[in-house]
Structure 1
Amino acid sequence: MSRSTVLGWLRSPLVWDLLLALVTVVWSFVFIRLFLPGRINVDIGNQYQQAIGQAPFTDWHPPVMSIVWRLLIDLTGRPGSLFVLQVVLIAAAALLIGVIINRSGAPRWISLLGPVSMATPWAVSQLTTLWKDTQMAAALMLAVALLVITRLVPRAWLLWLPAILLLVYAVGLRKNAVFALIPIAVYGAFCLRGPLRGGLRTVMDRAPRWGLAGLSVLVIGVVGFGSAATESVIESRVEVAHNGQISQIFLDDVMFSVPDAELRAADAPAELKDHISSARDTCLEKGEIWDAYWNCYGRGDTGRAFSPLEYQDELKDLWLNEVITHPVRYIEYRSAVFSSYFFSSKLEYWEADWNGDAEKVGYETGNAKADFIFRPYVEDFALATFPMLFKPWFWSLVAAALLGLAYREHKRGGTGPAHSFCPEITVLSTSALCYVFGYFPIVPADHFRYTYWPALAVTVAFVLWLAQRGIQRVRNLEP
C-alpha cells in the first residue's frame, strides 16, 4: 500500500474516528485489566454490602449506587461490573469529545486529546476507585458529550433520553451535584432553543432570555422529578433506613462555631452538650476542625460506622438557634474549612496497600502490579512535581481563565455559531466553578475526589478551547 493511499485513508473522518475508538478501547482494556474489580474504602465497602444483601440499605449514601451495583452483579455475576461501567462511561465521553473535535475541522492531533484526557494523572487518580464522586463525574461528562451532539447534529433528539438518565443518576449519587447541574441545564436549554425556535418562534424571538430561562427550569425540573421518582421507586422495592447524614454538617457547625459558654447555656440535652464539648477538645488536640463524626465524636449512637447520631432533632435545633443566628462567626468557620479544602488535597491516589476495608467485606483487591505502574505516574510525577494539579484553586483559576477566553471569542464572533465551542467551554467551566464553591457550606474534608468533576470538566473545556483555536487557524489559512 502506497504512502499516498495511507494518507488518504487517514484523512477520512470515519477512519480517524475508528482510530480514536481503538485508542480508547485499548487504554480502557488495559486499565480495567489492571484495576478490576476496583478499589474501595469504608464507604464503598458499606455500599457493596448493601448491594449483596449483607447490610441494610440506608440513605447515608444515596442507595441508587448500591441498587445499580446489585443489578449489575445479578446480570453479570461479578462485583467488578460496577468498575467496568465506571470506566466505560468516562471512556465513552472521552471518545465522543474526540470524535466531535475531529468532525469540527480542528487539526487531527487535537482530537486525540479526547481519549488522552482520561489517561491524565488527575483522571487516573480517582478512576481506580469506586467513589460515587467518580461515577457522578463520569455520568455528568457523558451527559454533556451527548448534549453537544444534539446541538451540532440535526435530528439527534433521541440522545436526550440517555443524557437525562445520566443526569438523574449523577444527582442521585451526590445531592450537591445540583450545583454542577444548573449550568448544564442552561446549556441543555440552549441546545433545545434552536430546534424549538420554529415551533415557539413568537416566544423565543420576543423574549429570548425568558425563553432560555424557562427551558432551563424545565430541564432542571425533569432531572429533579426523575431523581425523586427514582428514590421513590427504590424505597418501594427495598427498605431504606433514614440515618440523617446531614446531621454531620450540623454537628461540625455547632461544635466548631459555637463558643463553649453559649453551648452550655443553650436549651439542649446536657448529654448532647457534654458530648459535643468533650469531642471538640479531642478534635482540636488532633488539629481537626471538621468531619467530627469520624475524627472525634465517636460516630453515631452505636459507635459503628454509619450509625445515626443521637439527638438529631435537638442538634438541628442547636444549629437553627446558635449557628445561623450568628452569621459572622458561621461564615468565619465555613471560610476556615473551605480554605483548607480549596488550597490543599488528600487521597489523590488510593493505594492497594490500603485494602483493609476491602478485606473486611470480602472484596477482591485486584492486580498487585497496578500500583507499580500507575502510583509513580500519579504521585511521584504529577503530585510531587505539579501539586497544583490536585488542588481546587488551580482548576477554579483555569476555569475562570477559560470563561474569559470563551467570552472574548464569543464577542469576536468565534468561528460561527455552528462551529464554535464557546458554549461548551462556558458550561464546563461554569459547572466546575459552581461545584467547587457549592462546597462552601458542606465540605467535610479536602479529599481530591471532591474536585474530580471540576478537574475533568476543565480538562475537557481546555481541549475544546485548543480545538476552537485550531479551527480558527485553519480558517485563517483558507484563501
Structure 2
Amino acid sequence: MIPVLSRIRGHWWDAVLALVTAAIGAYLVHAFYPGRANNDIVNQAQQALGEIPYSDWHPPVVAALWEWLIGLTGEIGSLLVVQLVLMSLGSFGLGLLVHHRLASRLGSFLAVLLPVFPWSLSQLNIMWKDVQMATAFLLAVVLVFLVRLRPRALWVLLVPAAVLLVYGTLARKNAVFALVPIAVYLGWMAWSALAARRERLRTTRIRFWGSAVSALVVLGVLGGATLATDGAIAEAKDVRATGQISQIMLDDVMFSVPESELNASAAPKELKDHINTARAECIDQGEIWDAYWNCYGRGETGEPFSPIAYQDEVRHLWVTEVVTHPVRYVEYRAAVFSHYFFTSQLEYWERGWDGEASKVGLGGGSRTADYVVKPYVVDFALGTFPMLFTPWFWFLGGALLLVGARRLTAFRAEVVVLSTSAMFYVLGYFPIAPANHFRYTYWPALAVTAGALLWWCARRKQRKQDRGAVRS
C-alpha cells in the first residue's frame, strides 16, 4: 500500500473507501450520462415517458421504476444514475465487508475498484435489464453478507436486500436461477441463528434439513413478493400481454422439427409456410437462433416487439412436436447453448451506436471519456483476453472457487453463494438462450469477481496467520 495510506486505520479507512467509490461513481455518471440505448431500451423509455402503452415484452418493472424516477427528477438519465449508484454501493459494501472482517486494506481497496474492472465497466453505460438485475443483485448479496458482520442491523440490511432481489428477479425473469443459492444462504443463516439458541437443533442432520426448509420458505416469500409486485404493476399500468415466450418456442419449432414433420402437422398452412421460408433464410445467414429478429419478420405487424401471429398454434406445435422428441430438442438447445457459452458479442456499447435513442433523449455521453474507456475495454481487455467476456470463463471460475472454498476459514459460505449463483445462472440459459450477448453473462462476471476477491483476501489472511504461528 502507499505509505501515507498505510497509516490510515479504522473508520478513517472507511472514509477513504467512500471517497474512492464516490469519485469513481461521479466519473462514470459524467462519462455515460444520460445512458446509451438500443431499441429494447428505447421501447422501455417510451413506455416510461407515456409515449406508448405498457407491454410485457420487456419487464414492466423497469419502465415503471423509470417512469417514477422521471416524475421525481424530470431526467431521462435518472435510471442510469440508479444503475451506477447500485454498482457503487455494492462495491463499497464489499470493501467494508473485507475491511471489517479481515482488516485487509488492500483487499477492501480492490473491492471498491470493482466498477472499473474492464468486464464490469463494459456494460455500465447502457441500461440493459440484465445490468439492472446484476447491479441490484450485487448490492442485495453484499447487504445479506453484511448481516453476519452487523447482526443488530438485521432488518436495516435485509429489507432493502429483499426489495433489490425482487426487483432484479422482475427485471430479468431467469434471475430466479441465480436467486436459489442466495435463498439457501438466507435459510442457512436463519436456522444457524435459531440453532445458536437451542442446543438440540445443532446436530448435523437437523441443521441440514432445517436449513433446507428455511431456504424453501425464503424462496417462497421472495417468489410470492415477486409475483405480487408483478401483478400489481400489470394492473396499475394496464400492461398488454405479448406472449414473448413464444419467441423461444418459435426457435425450437423452426430449428428442431424437420420440415416433413412440420408439414404433416395440423398447424395452419400459412404458419407452416412462414416457418419453412424463414428457416431457409436463417440458415442462409448462418443463424439457427433468434428467428424473430433474424429472419421471421418479427411479429404479426412486422414492427419490433409486436406479438407473433398464431401464438396458440406455435405453443401447440411446441408441445406436440418439440418436447415429444427430447433427443433432438436437447441437441438443438445444446447447439444454441454452445454458441452462447463459448462466444460473445456486444461487449461494449460504443458511442454512436444509439440509433433511435435520441428520440427519447438518450445516447451520447462524454466523447473524451469514450476515448478513455473504449481502448481500455475493447482494445486492451477484449483484444488481449477475449475469454473475459465469455460464459465458459466465468462458469469455470465459479467451479474453481467452489472447489477452493473448502480451504477457507473465512468467507467460505459467501464464496460458495456467489460461485453457485453465477453457475446456476449460466446453466439456466440452456433452454432459453436467444443469442450470445455479453450482457447475459454480466451477473456471473460480477459474482465470480466478487467471490474471487473474497477468496483471495481470505487466503491471504490465512497465510499471514500461518506464518505468524510458525514464527511463534
Contact 1:60 1:242 in 2 (8 A): yes
Contact 2:45 2:63 in 1 (8 A): yes
Q: Which residue of 1 aligns with 2:227?
A: 228
Contact 2:174 2:428 in 1 (8 A): yes
Q: Which residue of 2 aligns with 1:331?
A: 330
Distance 1:13 1:102 in 2: 9
Q: Which residue of 2 aligns with 1:345?
A: 344
In the superposition, the TM-score normalised over structure 1's length comes to 0.95
Q: Which residue of 1 aligns with 2:46?
A: 49
The superposition leaves residues 70-102 of structure 1 with CA deviations (integer Å, 9 ceiling, x where unpaired) of 111111111111100000101101011111111
Contact 1:51 1:66 in 2 (8 A): yes
The superposition leaves residues 425-460 of structure 1 with CA deviations (integer Å, 9 ceiling, x where unpaired) of 111000000000110000000000000000000000
Q: Which residue of 1 aligns with 2:281?
A: 282
Matched, 1:242 2:232: no
Pairs within 5 Å for 1:129-168? 129-158=126-155, 159-168=157-166
Distance 2:360 2:28 in 1: 24
Amino acid at match of 2:305: F
Deviation at 1:203, TM superposition (A): 4.9
Deviation at 1:107, TM superposition (A): 3.2
Matched, 1:425 2:423: no
Distance 2:35 2:362 in 1: 9
The superposition leaves residues 411-437 of structure 1 with CA deviations (integer Å, 9 ceiling, x where unpaired) of xxx43xxxx111111110000000001
Deviation at 1:235, TM superposition (A): 2.1
Pairs within 5 Å for 1:87-166? 87-158=84-155, 159-166=157-164
Distance 1:167 1:21 in 2: 24
Amino acid at match of 2:415: I
* Closer/same/farther in 2, CA of residues 364 and 345 from structure 1, 3 Å limit: closer
Matched, 1:472 2:462: yes
Deviation at 1:104, TM superposition (A): 1.8
Contact 1:343 1:392 in 2 (8 A): yes
Worse-superposed segment, 279-288 or 99-108: 99-108
Unaligned runs of 5+ residues in structure 2 are none
Distance 1:330 1:15 in 2: 58
Tell me which of 455, 461, 471 is aligned to 2:451. Answer: 461
* Closer/same/farther in 2, CA of residues 138 and 476 from structure 1, 3 Å limit: same
Q: Which residue of 1 aligns with 2:187?
A: 189
Distance 2:184 2:200 in 1: 20
In the superposition, the TM-score normalised over structure 2's length comes to 0.96
Amino acid at match of 1:107: S
Unaligned runs of 5+ residues in structure 1 are none
Q: Which residue of 2 aligns with 1:305?
A: 304
* Closer/same/farther in 2, CA of residues 469 and 284 from structure 1, 3 Å limit: same
* Closer/same/farther in 2, CA of residues 221 and 200 from structure 1, 3 Å limit: farther
Q: CA RMSD in A?
A: 1.6
Please give the secondary structure, in 1, of the residue aligned with 2:346.
Answer: coil
Contact 1:107 1:470 in 2 (8 A): no
Tell me which of 412, 437, 442 is aligned to 1:452. Answer: 442
* Closer/same/farther in 2, CA of residues 253 and 70 from structure 1, 3 Å limit: same
Q: Which residue of 1 aligns with 2:368?
A: 369
Distance 1:428 1:7 in 2: 30
Please give the secondary structure, in 2, of the residue aligned with 1:169.
Answer: helix
* Closer/same/farther in 2, CA of residues 106 and 199 from structure 1, 3 Å limit: closer
Amino acid at match of 1:432: A
Identity among equivalent positions (%) equals: 53
Amino acid at match of 1:375: K
Matched, 1:254 2:253: yes
Distance 1:7 1:355 in 2: 42
Amino acid at match of 1:53: G
Amino acid at match of 1:231: D
Distance 2:230 2:334 in 1: 33
Deviation at 1:192, TM superposition (A): 1.9
Contact 2:133 2:172 in 1 (8 A): yes
Deviation at 1:364, TM superposition (A): 4.6
Pairs within 5 Å for 1:170-181? 170-181=168-179
Deviation at 1:111, TM superposition (A): 1.3
Deviation at 1:328, TM superposition (A): 0.7
Contact 2:61 2:233 in 1 (8 A): yes
Please give the secondary structure, in 2, of the residue aligned with 1:213.
Answer: helix
How many residues align structurally? 466
Amino acid at match of 1:358: A
* Closer/same/farther in 2, CA of residues 83 and 342 from structure 1, 3 Å limit: same
Contact 2:36 2:127 in 1 (8 A): yes
The superposition leaves residues 311-363 of structure 1 with CA deviations (integer Å, 9 ceiling, x where unpaired) of 10000000000001001100110010100000000000001111212034443
